[in-house]
Structure 1
Amino acid sequence: MHSRSCSLRRVLTYVWILALLLLCVASIRGAFLPSKLPGFRCDDPDIRHPFRGDTVTLGQILLLVVVVPGPLLALVEWWANPCGPLDWGVVGSAFRHYVIGLELVSVSVEVVKTLVTQPRPHFLDSCRPDWDRLDCSRGLVTQYECTNKESRILLDMHKSFPSGHAALGFYLFTFVAIYSRFRLSSASSHWSRAGNGVLSACLLLLACLNAASRVYDRRHHAVDVLVGSLFGLLGGVAAARWLVSNCRQRQETKSR
């Protein structure tokens, strides 16, 4: 009965992962975009920057937060028990918790982006509105049409708040840092504890550099990056504490 219950729980976990993934992809593809474009002010200096591309591309940040955590979690488990066999069941459980938290953070960020519709710093350069048809004398321009018809750019140009890059980077750092601290809190090896400190410092540095690049590239306003980083921190804390709680329950069950 216990085995059947665990199998059902695992199936439901995978269903959740798939559902969240599909929801996130649909949001990125513009399935939940508002029917009306957000307004802007012609003299707003914050949206007049040229589009310069990404120092850290979407593919690179996804590679970092999807592929890298698995080996990192395995490394933490090896540090926790360097003399014994690697428990791949524990690694797999940790990675499932990580992925669910990652998708929840991603979906939350995309939902807020869609609701807020904050123009990016390069909004005017991406939209290229027909200035001859604009009435800037009223302040906020709400009736306009972009001459740039590239759908990818039109979907992206008003999704500045909050920063998804910053959220993902800080989620990775927070989750791995908290989980590794829990797993290595009782480690007898000085090198394991030192390695944990170095790992956390490196992930924090990467998260900060990634977030800073979004402002440097004029892809986000500073407040977008700050709020996105907060999304990642809170999501990482919640997911890691959920995992730690389950690990402690499992340890208590085994000790009975």
Structure 2
Amino acid sequence: MAWRNLGSLFNFRGILQGRTPEIELGRRYTIKSHGAALAKNHMYDWLILLLLAVIELILYIIYPFYRFVGKDMMEDLRYPMKANTVPVWAVPMYSVLLPVVIFLFFYMRRKDVHDLHHSILGLLFAVLITGVITDAIKNAVGRPRPDFFWRCFPDGKDVYDQLGGVVCHGKDSDIKEGHKSFPSGHSSWSFAGLGFLSLYLCGKIKAFDRKGHVAKLCIVLLPLLAASLVAISRVDDYWHHWQDVFAGGLLGLVVASFCYRQFFPSPYHDQGWGPYAYFSALEETRILSHLGVNPINNSPRMQVTGAQNVNEQHIQNSDASAAFSGNRYTSIRMHEMESGGK
């Protein structure tokens, strides 16, 4: 009976539905107290990130498929060869480092290492998964860029073989990049990183709290506007066709949404401001505190084990009570039926 009351008292669903008092949500989980154990618990996730980074590097180095380009196709590929308005080195700066700085700002305010760790982990997953998918498609499709003519024939003298295909005599690196038009890497990375940031801000500032603050909506849309401007610059620089930019942006935004929801509730949720792990850790801390155990002096593994034991014992006692009640009810009904038969 005591375990049943304990289980009712520590209702995890009640926390997620916003019924937990704000004073209990003020617990702090810092990098010093829980950071090392949290990173160790997600060791395999970090190893997968490392693997994704290696795959991305390999995909960037290898040559793409050199699609057939004929003389009659050159009409749409004669745009001038220009430099990047947004350099390649700047992409990780605004799509990864900028969100991390904002994550750190919220950590300094709330002191929740779960939020910091999972936001960085989710962001890195978003950009690396997007990068791997983008470069894999680039290499497989091999679509020529709008400025392919000048990459292939830098002197303006076009040469074709017997089948009408191009015989390029430009720089090898330029020709290689000339077959990587679809989809746009700048666009996909921008919408992956800044799209994740937009979802993060949406939850943190409670943009959908039903109070009608349009200023919050403007803050949420600002990263998406920046990503859109980067995507437009790729068309203006004649490095991509509009289809490349559209597909890249959509890909990055979809991957960012999946990665965000892996760690955080929906921004529409009342508790969308915090990661799932925070509420789970809060529940474990409350249970151990009720049992007289100091959660600070115990490792998170011990906390999880203790919480699981409490829940398992609660479930076992509940099942036993239900079985006892069911057997008792069945016995009474059988007795009534036998009496009626007689």
Do residues 103 (structure 1) and 103 (structure 2) align? no
Do residues 55 (structure 1) and 49 (structure 2) align? no
| Aligned with 1:175 (options 196, 214, 223) | 196
Q: Quick one: distance in 1 between partners of 2:280 and 2:40?
A: 22
Q: Quick one: distance in 1 between partners of 2:148 and 2:137?
A: 18
The answer as to whether partners of 1:76 and 1:180 remain within 8 angstroms in 2 is no
Q: What is the aligned residue count?
A: 238
Deviation for aligned residue 1:202: 2.0
Amino acid in the other structure paired with 1:254: L
SS in 1 for 2:81: coil
Identify the residue that residue 158 of structure 2 maps to in structure 1: 131
Identify the residue that residue 251 of structure 1 maps to in structure 2: 279
Deviation for aligned residue 1:13: 1.6
Deviation for aligned residue 1:185: 2.7
Deviation for aligned residue 1:253: 4.9
Q: Quick one: distance in 1 between partners of 2:38 and 2:61?
A: 35
Q: Quick one: distance in 1 between partners of 2:141 and 2:253?
A: 21
The answer as to whether partners of 2:84 and 2:237 remain within 8 angstroms in 1 is yes
Long gaps (5+) in structure 1: none
Equivalences for residues 1-256 of structure 1 within 5 A: 8-30=40-62, 33-34=64-65, 37-44=66-73, 45-77=75-107, 82=109, 85-128=110-153, 131-135=158-162, 141-142=164-165, 144-148=166-170, 150-185=171-206, 196-245=216-265, 247-248=275-276, 250-255=278-283
Q: Quick one: distance in 1 between partners of 2:204 and 2:248?
A: 27
The answer as to whether partners of 2:95 and 2:194 remain within 8 angstroms in 1 is no
Taking structure 2 as the reference length, the TM-score comes to 0.62
Name the Cα RMSD after superposition: 3.0
Amino acid in the other structure paired with 1:15: L
Deviation for aligned residue 1:186: 9.1
Long gaps (5+) in structure 2: 1-34, 266-273, 288-342
Which of structures 1 and 2 has the bigger CA Rg? 2
The answer as to whether partners of 1:173 and 1:200 remain within 8 angstroms in 2 is no
The answer as to whether partners of 2:114 and 2:278 remain within 8 angstroms in 1 is no
Taking structure 1 as the reference length, the TM-score comes to 0.81
Amino acid in the other structure paired with 1:151: D
Amino acid in the other structure paired with 1:61: V
SS in 1 for 2:90: helix
Deviation for aligned residue 1:187: 11
The answer as to whether partners of 1:127 and 1:147 remain within 8 angstroms in 2 is yes
Shift in alpha-carbon separation, 1:16–1:186, aligned structure 2, 3 A: same
Amino acid in the other structure paired with 1:183: K
Deviation for aligned residue 1:162: 0.5
Deviation for aligned residue 1:134: 3.2
Same amino acid, percent of matched pairs: 21
